[in-house]
Structure 1
Amino acid sequence: SFLPQIQTFDVEAPCQTVEDLTSGVVMAQVLQKIDPAYFDENWLNRIKTEVGDNWRLKVSNLKKILKGILDYNHEILGQQINDFTLPDVNLIGEHADAAELGRMLQLILGCAVNCEQKQEYIQTIMMMEESVQHVVMTAIQELMSKESPVSVGNDAYVDLDRQLKKTTEELNEALATKEEIAQRCHELDMQVAALQEEKSSLLAENQILMERLNQSDSIEDPNSPAGRRHLQLQTQLEQLQEETFRLEAAKDDYRIRCEELEKEIAELRQQTEELTTLAEEAQSLKDEIDVLRHSSDKVAKLESQVESYKKKLEDLGDLRRQVKLLEEKNTMYMQNTVSLEEELRKANAARSQLETYKRQAVELQNRLSEESKKADKLDYECKRLKEKVDSLQKEKDRLRTERDSLKETIEELRCVQAQEGQLTTAGLMPLGRQEPSDSLAAEIVTPEIK
């Protein structure tokens, strides 16, 4: 509903859809249209225009805009916004939440209808459609009902507060720039690693081609296919080397820039601590002034001012916690970078060992195949010998049985011969009857004995 009103400011950035507003560029240009003196070019240059789909940069822009609106209400308009739910810039930047975006635009319209040129903006609202006009006026009335005037405090404290805010903004910008540079360094490291791998593969391919060319054509002849291929590969190799050197130089530059930013962050942190001490001292002095003016007519205004300062100190505590979290994240990122570099070195060392293990595995596989063939052959020989042993065992059993039968036959023959000898010795048998006994013995003898 606030989009038509925003479009009337005639800003340079596109503002046709809700997505165009989430980057914060349109809002910053609208605020500069409202008050160019306060929202000057220096403030506008802090808003990053090329954010793309990076929601973190969008949130950073929206935080700066929200802080600028609150400071403008407090310092220029002399208004303090109470009991008004501030928009969640994280939901706006990451998810383009319409409700939170409406609260942000409501604050911007509140600045427009309270600035020096408020009559012009109110006239513009009155010329819009009734539905849009009703929504805009309702939002402005709701915001104005939450505003309350603030009393002017000590000038030195105001200057100190402004300096503290400026230092905090510079610290946040330095941290954001440092995060971007760290991400860029990481990307450059990945590009350098990829280019080194490509360079290694090209060198290997060049070596293979050189070996082939030594066996076939001469690479010195540029008219031959091998010579042209060699020149092409050489040119490509030189380009890759130049790209590698360029990326390494850019990487070193970014690292130097990161170190400089770390030094700046340390200095800004020290300044923040000093300003915090001064702010605490100023607060204590302000409390003494409140005690001295307790009986005056400005008691209510001074108490509201004290409450506002307390809120600012709470905001400062939040900023300290955010700075601490960012420091922890920075330390974690540095540790991750060191561990990743160590893992990269280990991976390069393990790659050569892996190649050696692969060759050994191939050799062992070949040996295993040969030994398997030998084992199969020996198994076959063993089976054949076992069959032969079984056949011999059967033959042995058969011969043993035959031997036993022969022994029995021999015993019988011996008994017959013994009987015949006894008969012959006694002389009881005539010679004519001895022949039949001999023929009987001959018949008893088996064919094998014969």
Structure 2
Amino acid sequence: MRELSAFQKSREPASVRQHARTSAPRRGRAAPSVLLADERPAARYRIVVLNAPAESQTRSVLPIVRELRRRGHRMTYVTTREFAPSAAATGVDVLVHDSCPTLGADANPEDCGPADARLVADALDWAEEVDAAFRDDDPPDLVLYETSVHATARFLTCRWGRPAVQILPSFAHRAQDAAEVGAALESTDVDDGSCARRLPGHIRERLYRFLTPGGMAGGAPSNFYTKPEPLSIALLPREFQTDGELFDGSVAFVGTCTPECGVIDQWIPPSTDLPVVFLALDPELIEGGRESLRACVSALAEKSLHVVVLTPNGAAESLFAADDPPLNVELHDHVPWATVLRRAAVFVCHSDLHSVMESLYFNTALVAVPTSHRQRAVADRVVELDLGAHVSPDRAALGTLADVVTALVADPGIARSVREGQRWARNAGGALRAADEIEGFLEWSYEP
């Protein structure tokens, strides 16, 4: 990660390089008194972004990063080499790290206890590398982070004494729920509730050294695992959130942040009038693997449908290796999601929240095939709101999937519900509202 990025320096316009030092007042530092209110330059803050190195999280967070960069803020995005080009394309600084440790897509804070030595060591390795990149400069004004990397993010906020905003990739939890989990964690710890007390000595000493500048060396587990941030950005509309009306302004429900379509994001729709079914399933995550996925596609091909299949890791070409796929089936290793979803009648996916939100944004019904606890919660909400259907991975290849898809295509009630879901998704505000909320929080944190 030492290479602050071969990507970013050449991409940064001179007008931004001139503002490498942020013109917004730092904590405890007064704004220049010589400027009249209407002459004051637009505030430019320095923001570091920590995100999980995964396709779904990268696709959902980068539109927010792009919008903040467009507004003149100096952005530093931390990711792995695989996702560095996508981040660099937004014009931001990129810090490349060999690996960005996460809690995983389905992890709960209570499952990753404060004495998990491996997790703490990995998160601390990453935090030390990020901190070293800012050693010759003031720390960033804000840490913007996606939930699954919150251990590293909170180590950094404690060391730097800077505020943070959390991006929620799934359902939000109300403050009292998080507080209850934090209390349970602290009650299971020893003596003073220190999350470091049960760590191996060498990791504990590293943690103390790293956190001491921020005064948090003996912090309780809730400071790193369950304590809510003053502002969280939830990537779903309030209407999709269970009990969404009970949340206060500390959670901004901005909906999906759909990336801009580029010139190269081309997909040629079929010349027929058949309904398009977009299927994006990982064969490793369904019962029976690749053979089951092939059976799913073959069953769909027998219906009056046009099937667009997206598979990861180069699996598309080998799906029908022995013979050509049916004429109404397309196989892709890469395809522009938004372009296909605009034309699709049904989207079959593993029901991570971002995929579901993109589907609603483009008025596409869903068949959710969940493979984790978090995805099952999203799938249940899809069914509850009449936005589609839920098929378990072990039944996807039994003809069930094709029958469910054809039923959805012909169901006017589902179509009405999905159109209402599209209104929720498009009215939530997306990346523009997320940037507004983050800027408002920064002004509240720093402006006199």
- TM > 0.5 fold call: no
Q: Quick check: which one's strand share is greater?
A: 2
Q: Greater Rg, structure 1 or structure 2?
A: 1
TM-score (normalizing by structure 2):
0.22
TM-score (normalizing by structure 1):
0.22
